Each structure stands twice: as C-alpha cells, then as structure tokens.
C-alpha cells in the first residue's frame, strides 16, 4: 500500500465526504500502521493479510475499540478502492467488527470538580484563562475540541449562553451558569487582552503566545490541576463532560435536555449516564441504609 494511495484516499474523504481534520488524521494513522505491517506484500491482492493483521493486534493486547477502529478504516479504504479502481472482492467484506464493551464513564464528585476548577492561580493571565476554561467546560459539558474552537462572538451575555458548533458543523445553544459567566467575563476583560500578541486571532481562548489553544495543551492543563489537588486518577477533558451530564441527571434534569446540551444525535448515547446515576444511587443506598449492609 503506497503512501500516495493513502493520501489519495484521505483527500477523497476530505473533499467528497467533508470529514473533520481529526477524523482524517485518525484514518491516516491507522492505514499507515497497516501499511507498515504489510511491508513488501501487496495488501491490494492479499485478503488474508487483513485477518492476520487484526489477529496480531488482538494477540498483542490491543483493545476491542482499537481493533474496531482499525477495521473501520480498512473497510472505508477498500470500499474506496472498489468504487474508484474496481478492486474486487473486498477483503474486509465478511469480517465482523469486535463487540465493544460499553464501559461506564469515569465521573468526578461535585467536590472534586470544584477543587480542580478552583486550582488555577488567578493572579496570572494564564491562570485566569485556565479557571475560565474549566468553569465553562463543567458549566456546559462541551467537548474539548468544541471548547478550543470557540470564537469570542460565540459568547453571548444577555442572557448568558454559549453558541457551540459540534460534530458535522451542527450548531447548538447552551445556557451558562453564574460562576462560569463571571469567570469568562473576568478573563475577557483582563487576561485575554494581555495574552494577545500582535494580531487578534479571534479565538475565545488563547495560549501564552497569543495563538489558539490545542487539545493536547488543554489536556495537559487538566492533568496538572488534578495532580495539584491530589486527584491521581486519570482525568481528561471528557471526564469533566461525563461529570457534567451525570450531575445534571442526579439532580433531576430531563434526559432530552441533557442530550441537547451534549450535542448527541441519538438519545441512546446519552442514556449511558442514567446507568451511571443508578450505579451511584445503589452505592449511596448500600452505604447509608442500616439494613443494606451485610453483617
């Protein structure tokens, strides 16, 4: 599988199907990994090679999610070759996707979220920014990719709300609570002005060089603040998103409203948080009810 063929496929996905940069990068990584495995063999003429590749991944301990993603990339690639170059038969046609384990998402307690949100040093411009980003992430449950893509004009103050563009460019409006409003307004009126270096790029949140924040950069910030307050579990921006949804449902929020705020196309994706809430309810019951504990 030549690098040029992979690039041709990625260009097709970008131009014809309009896939996001992140999705294209994921497809590219997975296909290059398979190309490296194939070596001198021609994967276009060897269907058994795909099965050997997946078996090797499985035996090396890769997760079912990784296997499913790699197979999805190969299926899309071979479908493209069939369509554009008349390749037949498709070696992935009869392969079944591995069944994914539906794990309950990791969730922080309300107290843990509060300690992380309050951890940044607001005596510095970057600390003010970090506090605003953390407050807004927990207040709205948006994805980290959506957070760093926000523009200044996505922030609406009367009434307080956030304009967010999610997957597929779909726009949604999310209400914002008082604490997040206060933190973002302080950031806009003080710290952001000091972070601008030269021309204003228009992004809501800027790094210390005055350019756009990255997902990796914000990921590192969350890990830093979690460790700073003594939380040693693996915390990611998605953990804050999971906590947002779970805490809303714990306090009686309507499932459809939570679906809308999270930007889920299918409510079944949101329903996993009801399982989290029931699990937490069971734990509270077992700990608190005098006849629930076994002697």
Q: What is the pLDDT of residue 47?
A: 62
Lowest mean pLDDT among 84-88, 115-119, 286-290: 286-290
Spans of all domains in the chain = 3-85, 110-287
Instruction: State pLDDT tens for residues 39-75.
Output: 766 666 666 678 888 888 888 888 888 888 888 888 8
Active site residues per annotation: 143, 167, 238, 241, 264, 273
Average pLDDT in the 77-99 region? 74
Q: Give the pLDDT score at 114.
A: 96
The answer to whether 177 touches 139, Cβ cutoff 8 Å, is yes
- The pLDDT assigned to 295 comes to 44
- Rounded to an integer, the average pLDDT of 98-116 is 80
If you write DSSP's letter for every residue of 92-149 in order, what string do you get? TTTPPPPPPP-PPPP---HHHHHHHHT-S-TTSHHHHHHHHHHHHHHHH---HHHHHT
User: Which top CATH class is 110-287?
Assistant: mainly alpha
Query: Can you tell me the distance from the alpha carbon of 130 to that of 289, in angstroms, rounded to the nearest whole number?
Result: 40
* Strand locations in the chain (E): 155-157, 160-165, 171-175
Look at domain 3-85 and name its CATH class: mainly alpha
- Report yes or no: 134 and 116 within 8 Å, Cβ to Cβ: yes
pTM: 0.64
Average pLDDT over residues 165-174: 83
Share of the chain above pLDDT 70, in %: 85
Q: How much is the average pLDDT of 4-33? A: 87
Instruction: Examine domains 3-85 and 110-287 and report if their fold is the same.
Output: no
A 10 A CB-CB count for 154 gives: 17
pLDDT at 45: 60
Give me the half-sphere count of Cα atoms (radius 13 Å) on the Cβ side of residue 180. 19
Does the pLDDT value for residue 142 go beyond 70?
yes
pLDDT band at 102 (very low <50, low <70, confident <90, very high): low
Query: Bigger pLDDT: 207 or 281?
Result: 207
- Mean pLDDT throughout 235-260? 88
């Amino acid at each position: 599988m030549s690098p040029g063929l992979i690039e041709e496929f990625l260009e097709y996905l970008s131009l014809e199907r309009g896939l996001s940069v992140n999705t294209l990068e994921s497809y590219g990584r997975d296909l290059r990994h398979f190309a490296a495995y194939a070596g001198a063999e021609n994967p276009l003429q060897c269907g058994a090679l795909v099965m050997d590749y997946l078996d090797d991944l499985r035996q090396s301990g890769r997760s079912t999610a990784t296997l499913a993603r790699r197979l999805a990339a190969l299926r899309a690639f071979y479908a493209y070759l069939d369509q554009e170059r008349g390749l037949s038969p498709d070696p992935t046609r009869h392969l079944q996707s591995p069944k994914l384990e539906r794990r309950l998402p990791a969730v922080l307690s309300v107290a843990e979220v509060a300690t992380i949100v309050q951890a940044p040093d607001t005596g510095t411009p970057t600390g003010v920014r970090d506090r605003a980003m953390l407050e807004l992430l927990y207040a709205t449950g948006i994805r980290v990719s959506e957070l760093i893509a926000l523009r200044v004009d996505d922030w609406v103050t009367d009434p307080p709300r956030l304009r967010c563009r999610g997957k597929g460019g779909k726009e949604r409006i999310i209400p914002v609570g008082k604490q997040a409003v206060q933190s973002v307004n302080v950031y806009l009126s003080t710290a952001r002005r000091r972070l601008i270096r030269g021309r204003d790029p228009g992004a809501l949140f800027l790094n210390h060089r005055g350019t756009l924040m990255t997902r990796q950069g914000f990921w590192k910030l969350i890990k830093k603040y979690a460790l700073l307050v003594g939380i040693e579990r693996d915390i990611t921006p998605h953990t804050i998103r999971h906590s947002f949804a779970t805490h809303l449902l714990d306090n009686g929020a309507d499932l459809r409203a939570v679906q809308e705020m999270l930007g889920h196309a299918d409510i079944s994706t949101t329903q996993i948080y009801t399982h989290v809430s029931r699990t937490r309810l069971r734990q509270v019951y077992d700990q608190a009810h005098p006849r629930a504990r076994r002697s």
